[in-house]
Chain A
Amino acid sequence: MRYSAFQIVRQALRGHQGWPRAWGEATAKPRYDAIVIGAGGHGLATAYYLGRNHGVRNVAILEKGWLGGGNTGRNTTIIRSNYLQDPSAAIYEKSRSLYETLSQELNYNIMFSPRGVMMLAQTEHEVRGYRRTAHANALQEVQTEFITPERVKELCPIIETRGPRYPVLGALWQARGGTARHDAVAWGYARGCAEMGMDVIQQCEVTGIRSANGKVKGVTTTKGEIDCDKLAIVVAGHSGVLAEMAGFRLPIESLALQALVSEPIKPCMDVVVMANTVHGYMSQSDKGEMVIGGGADGYNNYTQRGSFHHIEETVRALIETFPMISRLKMLRMWGGIVDMTGDRSPIISKTPMENVFINCGWGTGGFKAIPGSGWATAEMVAKGAPGALAAEFGLDRFREGRFIDESVAAGVAH
């Protein structure tokens, strides 16, 4: 059913009894043209664009838990494209621009809010770094600017710009960045996939990958064996586990990254602020909660919880920059398992097993990339080789020393 104002009125008059399920409960068929493992944003977007852009519709998306229950439903939803290197700018900017019209495209309100993203420069080193990024962005046709502390204060009056330890010396400002509703992104893509006849199968964990002569044959799951011609592994923090099933190793380590939200308060901040020096960032949700994210654990783990002292460090540092939050009560905190690569850039690549493709390594910052990454991964799966958007993100870059170093642009967990 197409959602519209007319439908709302019509369904209201019928007592809201006529709304169909957004996606059906699917049981697995014995064989698919393509299987996507992982129903997070990236997996669902990959499946969606496989159908929408390449006409591959005999597709199943297998999820061990529930839709969007991984990092996609656990992140702080910052969307921006102010990265430093050209390949990153290309894919993140593609993604940001797809977000602008995603609600219309999916006919599902993902609540994209281009409220502007500000990355504070609180040391001389950061000032230089962000000026450089602003110049790089200008060449890449990504609209950003380096702004003064006065402008920072104007855009976000609750910031203390003259703090003794971390004064605000300026900021990298991307007016077209913002936030979106994370669950809605997963739900919207899932609905789109189901409408094209794809099967979204939840509570179906992949436990093995079957192959013959180095070529994939199918997967073994908790719901039985399923065959496929092509396989896309899109499981974020669990990429290493799936790679092991396919017999190769990745340049990835999995860590817990945490976030927390405060009690809801009246609107006080209508931009997203990231403070990378102190490892904290904050925005206000539509409900009024202050959404806060911090640093990742230093050692690999799958605890989905994280170490408490990181929360303490984040909050302690943010209080100097935002003195008014010092009395706020925190409501909830949680963690997600993020997949970190050495150069802080993702992997969209073929793998040593024929017809197996992998999309991972988005680490602390892949929510913003969901539409663009799905677009690029679908192209790779459909054509058997990466297209222009994905070409630079292959696994071979580690062997060849062709890093896409984003450790400055991605300096904080976001």
Chain B
Amino acid sequence: MLILTCPYCGVAADETELAPGGEAHLTRAGVESSDEDFEAYLFQRKNPKGVHFERWRHANGCGKWFHAARCTVTNEVFGTYPAQTLEPPKEILDEIVARRPGWTLETGP
């Protein structure tokens, strides 16, 4: 069973206690954006085989949204971090590189 530690209440929560919220750090396309950007925001996903940044909610706990970095092949968790950020914090990135040498953060859309 997947276990994530909630960065707010510190509880190591089973996945049955959590609600998945999909890919993290999407840039919201506004009314002024092109159809392409809107499509990318609404539908297109990285869906990587490997390191994935994602949103979770501690649904049957404190109820708050947070972020996690997880490997989609092994379910290994690199760390969790609060939702109030636009990109993964440095300590999470360092942890990923330590365990996945050569991995780099993909930037851009």
Instruction: Identify 5 new A-B residue pairs, CB closer than 8 A, beyond the known A251-B44, A252-B45.
Output: A249-B45, A299-B20, A303-B75, A307-B15, A309-B15
Do residues B45 and A240 form an inter-chain contact, with CB atoms below 8 A?
yes
B45 close to A301 (CB less than 8 A): no
Q: Which B residues fall within an 8 A CB radius of A?
A: 1-2, 15-16, 19-20, 22, 35-36, 38-40, 42-49, 52, 54, 72-75
In Å, the complex CA distance between A250 and B52 comes to 16
The answer to whether B73 and A302 have CB atoms under 8 Å apart is yes
| Chain A 243-261 interface residues, beta-carbon cutoff 8 Å to B | 249-254
Let me know if A18 is at the binding interface, CB within 8 A. Answer: no
Residues of A within 8 A of B47 (CB): 240, 250, 252-254, 300
A301 & B46 in contact (Cβ 8 Å cutoff): no
Residue of B nearest to A238 (CB): B49
Contacts of A249 in B (CB 8 A): 40, 44-46
For B43, list chain A residues within 8 Å (CB). Answer: 251, 342, 398
**A→B interface (CB under 8 Å):** 238, 240-241, 249-254, 298-303, 307-309, 342, 398-399
CB distance from A303 to the nearest CB of B (A): 6
Residues on A with beta carbons closer than 8 Å to the beta carbon of B40: 249
A303 close to B73 (CB less than 8 A)? yes
Q: Are A301 and B44 CB-contacts (below 8 A) given A238-B49, A241-B49, A398-B39?
A: no
Q: Indicate if the CB atoms of B45 and A253 lie closer than 8 Å.
A: yes
CA distance in complex: A45, B35 (Å)? 34
Residues of chain B contacted by A303 (CB below 8 angstroms): 72-75
On whether the beta carbons of B44 and A300 are closer than 8 Å, the reply is no
Q: Are B74 and A399 in contact (CB under 8 A)?
A: no
- Bound state CA distance, A147 and B44, in angstroms? 40
Question: What is the distance, in angstroms, from A148's C-beta to the closest C-beta of chain B?
Answer: 37
A353 to chain B minimum Cβ distance, whole angstroms, is 16
Q: Of A298, A308, A399, which is within 8 A of B20 by CB?
A: A298
A299 touches B54 (CB 8 A): yes
A299 CA / B54 CA spacing, docked (Å): 9
Contact (Cβ within 8 A) A309 B1: yes
Bound-complex Cα distance A241 to B45 (A): 11
Contacting pair A300 B35 (CB below 8 A):
no
- B75 touching A399, Cβ below 8 Å: no
Q: List 15 A-B contacts (CB under 8 A).
A: A240-B47, A241-B49, A249-B46, A250-B44, A251-B45, A253-B22, A253-B45, A253-B47, A254-B47, A254-B49, A254-B72, A300-B47, A303-B72, A308-B1, A398-B42
Per the bound structure, the CA–CA distance linking A299 and B42 in Å amounts to 17
- In the complex, are the beta carbons of A302 and B20 less than 8 A apart? no
